């Protein structure tokens, strides 16, 4: 037990020692006890304080509670109520301990969503994480783009949990999964009777996210009408619930995501340009897995560990051949697909090492695979024949290089007749590229 003669001395002790509980008088020289409680709570919200009011004024006790005191005690203590005092002190200490413990658990949860659970060391992913680190703590609107399954939601969580808003909620709305008619009331809430099925007042997700972050997933699927309403929220953080004329103001950070080509959607008039520019304050592009293949082995081991642990399996690893096939597959479903494949294999196999025979057929054959993505056609147009020709040349040269110019095997790789390949090589006058 340590004693302090006034608030200043008490604060000195609070800031230099670990304490379980503070007991203080209201009347003290200098700063009074209630103000002291406020200062302590500012410094350490978990440290319980009990205020002793000698003058029995109800205002004092109410004020003490409002300042954050655990409870108050009326002086003087008498023989008869010492037990009660002792119990109160014990309760306060226990309460403080639970609060600290709870906060610790919360922090752990938050840490899980920081970066530790984002696996990968490719330059592409590293760049994404560096951006996240830089911008998380600003309140800027963020647009996360990338194919399905690349980890956009994971990135959104990392942004939220690395921001000053991390103690508040991150509320997720999948704009693509909710029917258009319902999405508005989902986002902004509705009054009772606003429409036939609105049997009760309902708070929307924006209100729920007040003080925190709202994650608008698949923003590219939002209807034109809602795009206008969202634009307004982004501009001045206000909206009206469905059926209400009362304007609501919220303090919300917006993170949006989409796998869609918004430039294309804008060109077709399906996505508003003004909304796009409001959202695209800080763009983050998560690269597809096939463009960061060096992450694949790490992710494979990560998911092995996770599934082994969750399902009580003992898979020891993946054979080098199987790993090579996994690295070579073009993963149209990105990390989510890899996660599913790993889970299925671990469950089916149960123990030992995963070999090529355990891989899904498509991955094992690696055949009917990569689908070429044509470039977007700029308004100035393209040279069609040249582009297609270059593409073909590139594929043929790749196959020849991979096989050391063995034309039989190159033809096999390409799924072409040998004669067809020879004709093309001749016509295109192909020679080894020097390097
Ligand atoms: N870099 C990564 N490390 C670990 N798990 C990842 C990574 N990227 C994605 N995942 C996992 O893959 C799945 C799909 O990610 P998600 O964020 O939902 O993708 P998206 O929102 O882009 O469709 C989730 O289970 C996620 O935890
Ligand atoms: Mg998603």
pLDDT in single tens digits along all 435 residues of the chain: 889 999 999 999 998 888 999 999 888 888 899 999 999 998 888 899 999 887 666 777 888 888 889 888 887 777 777 888 888 888 888 888 888 877 777 766 666 556 668 999 999 999 999 999 999 999 999 999 999 999 999 999 999 989 999 888 899 999 988 888 889 999 999 988 878 777 777 889 999 999 999 999 999 999 999 999 999 999 999 999 999 999 999 999 999 999 988 988 898 899 999 999 999 999 999 999 999 999 999 999 999 999 999 999 999 999 999 999 999 998 989 999 999 999 999 999 999 999 999 999 889 887 555 666 677 788 888 889 889 999 999 999 999 998 889 998 898 888 888 888 999 999 999 888 765
- Which residue is listed with tokens 């590229």? 433
Determine the topology of domain 290-365 in CATH.
Helicase, Ruva Protein; domain 3 (1.10.8)
How far away, in angstroms, is 87 Cα from ligand 2 center?
51
Please tell me whether residue 264 adopts helix, strand or coil conformation: helix
As its CATH architecture, domain 7-104 has 3-Layer(aba) Sandwich (3.40)
Exposed, middle or buried by CB within 10 Å (0-12, 13-18, 19+), for 410? buried
Overall pTM > 0.75: no
What contacts 361, CB < 8 A, 6 or more positions away? none
* Ligand 1 atom nearest residue 152's Cα: 22
Least distant ligand from the CA of 285: 1
**What are the residues whose beta carbon lies below 5 Å from ligand 2 (ion)?**
153
Cβ(240)–Cβ(246) below 8 Å: yes
Give the Cβ contact number of residue 328 at 10 Å.
Answer: 14
Atom 27, ligand 1: which residue's CA is nearest? Answer: 154
* Ligand 1 atom nearest residue 295's Cα: 1
The domain locations on the chain are 7-104, 120-287, 290-365, 384-428
CATH code of 384-428, in short, is 1.10.10.60
- Which residue is listed with tokens 């001045």? 236
Please work out, in degrees rounded to the nearest 5, the angle formed at the alpha carbon of residue 282 by the alpha carbons of 281 and 287.
140
Select from 362, 363, 390, 364 the least CA-distant residue to 375.
Answer: 390
What contacts 143, CB < 8 A, 6 or more positions away? 219, 256, 257, 258, 279, 280, 281, 282, 283, 284
- Which residue is listed with tokens 């995501």? 257
CATH code of 120-287, in short, is 3.40.50.300
Tell me, yes or no, if the two domains 7-104 and 384-428 fold the same way: no
Ligand 1 — pocket residues by CB below 6 A?
118-120, 146, 148-154, 302, 335-336, 339
Tell me the C-alpha distance between 414 and 430, whole Å.
Answer: 16
Sign of the Cα pseudo-torsion (30, 33, 38, 42, in order)? positive
Q: Where are the beta strands (DSSP E) in 319-384?
A: 351-354
pLDDT in tens, 244-280: 999 999 999 999 999 988 988 898 899 999 999 999 9
Long-range pairs of 388-391 with CB within 8 A, sequence gap ≥ 24: 389/428
């Amino acid at each position: 037990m340590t004693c302090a003669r006034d608030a200043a001395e008490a604060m000195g002790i609070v800031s230099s020692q670990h304490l379980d509980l503070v007991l203080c008088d209201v009347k003290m020289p200098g700063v009074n006890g209630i103000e002291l409680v406020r200062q302590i709570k500012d410094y350490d919200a978990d440290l319980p304080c009990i205020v002793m009011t000698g003058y029995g004024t109800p205002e004092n006790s109410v004020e003490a509670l409002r300042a954050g005191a655990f409870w108050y005690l009326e002086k003087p203590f008498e023989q008869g109520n010492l037990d009660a005092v002792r119990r109160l002190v014990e309760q306060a200490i226990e309460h403080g301990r639970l609060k600290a413990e709870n906060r610790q658990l919360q922090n752990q949860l938050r840490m899980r969503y920081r970066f530790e659970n984002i696996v990968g060391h490719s330059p592409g992913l590293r760049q994404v994480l560096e951006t996240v680190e830089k911008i998380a703590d600003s309140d800027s609107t963020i647009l996360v783009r990338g194919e399905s399954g690349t980890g956009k939601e994971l990135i959104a969580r990392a942004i939220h949990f690395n921001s000053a808003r991390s103690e508040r909620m991150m509320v997720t709305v999948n704009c693509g999964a909710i029917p258009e008619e319902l999405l508005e009331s989902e986002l902004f809430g509705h009054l009772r009777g606003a429409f036939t099925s609105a049997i009760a007042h309902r708070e929307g997700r924006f209100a729920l996210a007040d003080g925190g972050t709202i994650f608008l997933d698949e923003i590219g699927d939002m209807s034109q009408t809602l795009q206008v309403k969202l634009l307004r929220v982004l501009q001045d953080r206000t909206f009206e619930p469905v059926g209400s004329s009362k304007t609501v103001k919220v303090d919300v950070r917006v993170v949006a995501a989409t796998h869609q080509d918004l430039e294309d959607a804008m060109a077709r008039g399906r996505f508003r340009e003004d909304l796009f520019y409001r959202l695209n304050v800080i763009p983050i592009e998560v690269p597809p897995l096939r463009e960061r293949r060096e992450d694949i082995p790490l992710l494979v081991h990560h998911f092995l560990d996770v599934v082994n642990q969750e399902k009580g399996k003992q898979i020891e690893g993946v054979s080098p051949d199987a790993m090579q096939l996994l690295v070579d597959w073009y993963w149209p479903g990105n990390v989510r697909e890899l996660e599913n494949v790993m889970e299925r294999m671990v469950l089916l196999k149960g123990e030992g090492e995963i070999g090529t025979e355990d891989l899904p057929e498509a991955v094992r054959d690696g055949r009917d695979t990569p689908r070429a993505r044509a470039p977007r056609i700029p308004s100035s147009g393209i040279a069609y024949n040249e582009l297609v020709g270059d593409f073909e040349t590139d594929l043929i040269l790749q196959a020849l290089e991979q096989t050391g110019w063995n034309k039989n095997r190159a033809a096999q790789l390409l799924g072409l007749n040998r004669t067809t390949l020879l004709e093309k090589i001749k016509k295109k006058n192909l020679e080894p590229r020097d390097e």
